[in-house]
Amino acid sequence: MKSMDERYNEVRALLGVPKNSYLPDFHRMSSMDMLFWNCRGASNNTFKRTLKELVRTHKPKILVLMETKVELNSMVMFFNRLGFTASTHFDPVGRSGGIWMLWNPSQANVRVLEANSQIITATISRQNDPNWLLSAVYASPNARKREEMWQTLEQIA
């Protein structure tokens, strides 16, 4: 069984914090509710009804929807009514794929760094909290494209 010091050192290594340094004080950060959903189609009534209920119940500040199968511009008014008035997206090719990140700009400041068919990466900031990086990944089944995705994530890291 590992000692607490060994566990802390593993966490430091994962975070890139020097061995004898204090760990970041994450427990004092406020939480942010986010919803990630591989929705497999975003334009039907079942999706809309379910998303409305999820938003009402969980009050997410950021939505990430994958495999949307439709273009975001066909759904803008729906999301605006839910309070998600800012977004970045990569629309599907034909009826395959699609990855969207939507947010309420009064709840979170999102600065998009990368958006392609497999990844949306953004810096997230809120008042009184340190900035952090969010990468929403919807990997291609194509091995060559997936390798490109890993290279992109390594560059971002």
For residues 85-102, give the mean pLDDT.
89
Q: What value does the mean pLDDT of the chain take? A: 87
Average pLDDT over residues 71-91: 94
Ordered domains of the chain (ranges, CATH): 29-156 (3.60.10.10)
Token duo for residue 109: 């400041």
What pLDDT score does 102 carry? Answer: 97
- pTM score: 0.77
Do residues 36 and 136 touch, judged by C-beta distance below 8 A? Answer: yes
pLDDT band, very low/low/confident/very high, at 30 (cuts 50, 70, 90): low
Average pLDDT (52-70) is 93
Place of tokens 């939507």: 102
Work out the average pLDDT over 69-87. Answer: 94
